[in-house]
Amino acid sequence: MIPSKQKLNIISLGCARNLVDSEVMAGVLHQDGYEMVQEPQEADVVLVNTCGFIDAAKSESIDTILEISRLKQEGKLRKLVVAGCLSQRYPKELPKELSEVDLFIGTGEVPRISEILRGHDGNKRRRRYIGVPQYLYDHSTPRLRGTPSHSAFLKASEGCDHKCAFCIIPQLRGPHRSRPIDSVVQEATLLARDGVKEINLIAQDLTAYGRD
């Protein structure tokens, strides 16, 4: 456990698949003792889960990072973390250009978020945690949903095996990997028991579900 309860705010940009990652990170950190807050101004740690797919999304991510960095310059924020697709796409460039960011975390490090934050408290020299994405959550993974209570996203698979010249998803999300159908059904059942009426199945390539 972290030595004292820290306040955490997560800003999730981009698609619904990224939102699920943000919800999982929120669940993992909440389980480890972090207190979730609604506004960045209230937080000790702000995590920006970025999109890096198209130019407009990249610009939005950079603008958001720079906006939050002002809180750090004003002494209102202890730690700024940049996660997600932008970190995965530019693992070498971003740390050089954004010195105000404490940590850069790739798309495959979602389940390790608490371990990484605690490790950084003891060693601030390492700023980058970006590897080949292999992570895929399941029905037992901690998760704090950010959608309305009646609706939820359920990620059935992750990544993509296609090598389309116009698309960078395989680099950002890794190869296609499906969850076992029993895990998908169990998560849907748990969501229904929690009052969810609308479950949206999502993936980078949902039509490839189960081929692996």
For residue range 98-110, list pLDDT tens digits in order. 999 999 999 999 9
Report whether pLDDT(75) > 50.
yes
Whether the model pTM is above 0.85: yes
- Domain segments of the chain: what residues? 7-129, 151-208
Rounded Cα–Cα distance for residues 133 and 146 (Å): 23
Report whether pLDDT(68) > 50.
yes
Enter the CATH code of domain 151-208.
3.30.750.210
Report whether pLDDT(122) > 90.
no
**pLDDT for the residue 123:** 81
Report whether pLDDT(2) > 80.
no
Report whether pLDDT(113) > 60.
yes
For residue range 156-200, list pLDDT tens digits in order. 999 999 989 999 999 999 999 999 999 999 999 999 999 999 999
- Mark out the alpha helices in 32-97 (DSSP H runs): 55-73, 85-89, 93-97
Contact indicator for 112, 83 with CB cutoff of 8 Å: no
Report whether pLDDT(1) > 90.
no
**pLDDT for the residue 185:** 98
**pLDDT for the residue 59:** 96
**pLDDT for the residue 38:** 94
Rounded Cα–Cα distance for residues 211 and 84 (Å): 26
Report whether pLDDT(138) > 50.
yes
Q: Counting beta carbons within 10 angstroms of the beta carbon of residue 131, is it exposed (0 to 12), middle (13 to 18) or buried (19 or more)?
A: middle
For residue range 77-86, list pLDDT tens digits in order. 999 999 999 9
Contact indicator for 70, 37 with CB cutoff of 8 Å: no
The class level of CATH for 7-129 reads: alpha beta
**pLDDT for the residue 4:** 64
What's the mean per-residue pLDDT of the chain?
94
